[in-house]
Amino acid sequence: MRDQKSFIFDTELRLVVLTGIKVCSLKELRAELPKVPGSSIFFHTHQEYLAHDFQRSAHYNDFARWVSQALREEALAEKLAAIDLLAFTTIRELRDAVIGTVDEYLGELDRPGYECRPEEAFHFCRSRSFVLPTGIVADDVDDFFRKVAAISHASLYFHFFEARLRLGRRTSDFSRWLTDRGRADLASAIDALNPYVRSLDELRRDIVRLGTGAPC
Partner 1 sequence: MSTRLEDYRQIVGSEVIDELLMLADRVRHLRLQHINSTSVGGGVAEILTRMVPLLRDLGIDTTWDVIKGNQAFFGVTKAFHNALHGGEETITEEMFDVFRATTAMNLAELDTYGDVIVVHDPQPAGLISRKPDVGGHWLWRCHIDVSTPDPRVWGFLQDYVAQYDASIFSMPDFAQQLAIPQYMVPPSIDPLSDKNRDLPDDKVRAVVERYGVDPDRPILTQISRFDRLKDPLGVMRAYRMARRRHDCQLLLAGGGASDDPEGAEVLHEVREAAGNDPDIHVLELPPFSDLDINALVRGSTIVMQKSIKEGFGLTVTEALWKKKPVIGGAVGGIRLQLLNGVTGFLVHSPEGAANRAVELLGDPELRDAVGTAGHEHVKENFLTTRHIRDYLLLMLAMEHDDTDLSLLTGGTP
Residues that bind partner 1 (CB under 8 A): 11-20, 22, 35-39, 42-43, 51-52, 54-55, 57, 90-92, 95, 118-119, 121, 123, 125-132, 134-135, 152, 162, 165-166
Beta bridge partner(s), residue 59:
none
Of 11 and 172, the one with the shorter C-beta distance to partner 1 is 11
Instruction: Give the nearest distance from C-beta 115 to partner 1 in angstroms.
Output: 17
Of 37 and 113, the one with the shorter C-beta distance to partner 1 is 37
Nearest to 160 by CA among 4, 12, 6: 12
Cα atoms in the 13 Å half-sphere on the side-chain side of 119: 0
Beta bridge partner(s), residue 12:
131
The DSSP call for residue 112 is P
Of 137 and 141, the one with the shorter C-beta distance to partner 1 is 137
Instruction: Give the nearest distance from C-beta 55 to partner 1 in angstroms.
Output: 6
Q: What's the CA gap between 59 and 114, in Å, rounded?
A: 19
CB 175 within 8 A of CB 188: yes
Query: ∠ at Cα 35 (32, 37), nearest 5°?
Result: 115
Let me know if 142 is exposed, middle or buried by CB neighbors in 10 A (0-12, 13-18, 19+). Answer: exposed
Instruction: Give the nearest distance from C-beta 16 to partner 1 in angstroms.
Output: 4
Of 126 and 147, the one with the shorter C-beta distance to partner 1 is 126
Q: How many Å is the Cα radius of gyration of the chain?
A: 19
Of 51 and 109, the one with the shorter C-beta distance to partner 1 is 51
Instruction: Give the nearest distance from C-beta 29 to partner 1 in angstroms.
Output: 15
Instruction: Give the nearest distance from C-beta 111 to partner 1 in angstroms.
Output: 25
